[in-house]
Amino acid sequence: MIIGAMNNPKNNLSDEIALFGEMGFDFAEITVEAPGATPEKIMQDRKKVLDTLHSYNFGVLSHYPWYFSVAHPYASIQKAIDAEFDRAFESAASLGAKKATIHTEWMPNSIQERPVMVAKTIDTIKRLHKAAAEHGVELLIENFSYSSFSIKEFKSLFSELEIGMTFDVGHASVASGEGFDNYVAQFKKRMKHVHLHDNNKQQDQHLPLGAGKIDIPKVVKELKSFYDGTITLEVHSEDRSYLQTSREKLEIMWYGKAHHERNKEYLFPEKK
């Protein structure tokens, strides 16, 4: 298991990566997103970003805006969004990203009939899966909530396309999320990446680990029984120290206190 963090797109990308490096993270999940990490901005600053990544020996995953529709009712608008996805895949690949996480549809169900939305989602993801592969990037689909895409609808998608899942524990745990245990029971073999954060089990709050009502120790124990890949701590807080605190908590829960203390001495040696 290796632990990463996601940049705040409002901040300078190189500064975000350096912050994660100083905190002892293993990789950066770069959300290719306005205002500070658009494809154009990434390509403009590519050398500096790569230098920063290399200075911390960081791997890279990529992530795309939740508000990029994958089932827009207007075909011309969906075509334009697909083109933005393609530019985003290209810019992320230029930084060495091997995986790309997109989201299911976010628009209210009242805009179009549910079966139409599901069919459009599957068609769009098929196109984007192919487009990402052309850039050498593996496309992953992230769970949102039941209103966005249900477990039953994920089964329909997976029956038509060989694609992995980014499993968002927080999204699964909200009132409309269908539950951590249900997702694990159905899709643990599909899970290629994990987003971990806490909440009050009602709203998607992206809290530090232990600050909400999710049973994080239980979640970690269950994940550890079948998963040993990348985990991004998707904690949204102005106080970035909560990221490091969450990383330390996860490391202790996964590997134990003794391992954490040894690793801490390695990552943060005493200055003489």
114-134 and 75-94 helices cross at what angle (nearest 10)?
A: 30
DSSP for 242-260 reads HHHHHHHHHHHHHH-HHHH
What is the DSSP secondary structure assignment for residue 35, as one 8-state letter? Answer: T
pLDDT band with cut points at 50, 70 and 90 for residue 259: low
- Per-residue model confidence as pLDDT tens digits over 113-138: 999 999 999 999 999 999 999 999 99
Tell me the residue type at 258.
A
Q: Residue 264: left if φ>0, alpha if ψ -120 to 50, beta else—which one?
A: alpha
Mean pLDDT of 144-162: 93
Q: Average pLDDT for residues 206-228, to the nearest whole number?
A: 98
Check: CB of residue 252 under 8 Å from CB of residue 217: no
The residue ranges of every structural domain in the chain are 2-267
How far is residue 31 from each of residues 59, 61, 173, measured CA to CA in Å?
A: 14, 9, 22
pLDDT score for 147: 81
Q: How far is CA 80 from its chain centroid? A: 23
pLDDT greater than 70 at residue 207: yes
Mean pLDDT of 180-184: 97
**Calculated CA dihedral for residues 60, 65, 71, 77, nearest 10 degrees:** -110
pLDDT tens digits, residue range 89-109? 999 999 999 999 999 998 887
Tokens found for residue 87: 């530019």
Q: Can you say how many angstroms the Cα of residue 149 is from the centroid of all Cα atoms in its chain?
A: 17
Do 59 and 96 meet the contact criterion of CB atoms below 8 Å apart? yes
Model confidence at 272: pLDDT above 60 = no
Q: How high does pLDDT run on average in the chain?
A: 95
pLDDT attached to residue 268: 61
How many C-beta neighbours within 10 Å does residue 157 have? 18
- What pLDDT does residue 264 have? 62
**Closest among 107, 131, 135, 110 to 121, alpha carbons compared:** 107
pLDDT digits (tens, 9 = 90+) for 30-59: 999 999 999 999 999 999 999 999 999 999
For the cut 90, the answer to whether the pLDDT of residue 261 exceeds it is no
pTM of structure: 0.93
CATH of 2-267 among 3.40.50.1970, 3.20.20.150, 3.40.50.300, 3.40.1160.10? 3.20.20.150
Q: What is the largest CA-CA distance in the chain?
A: 66
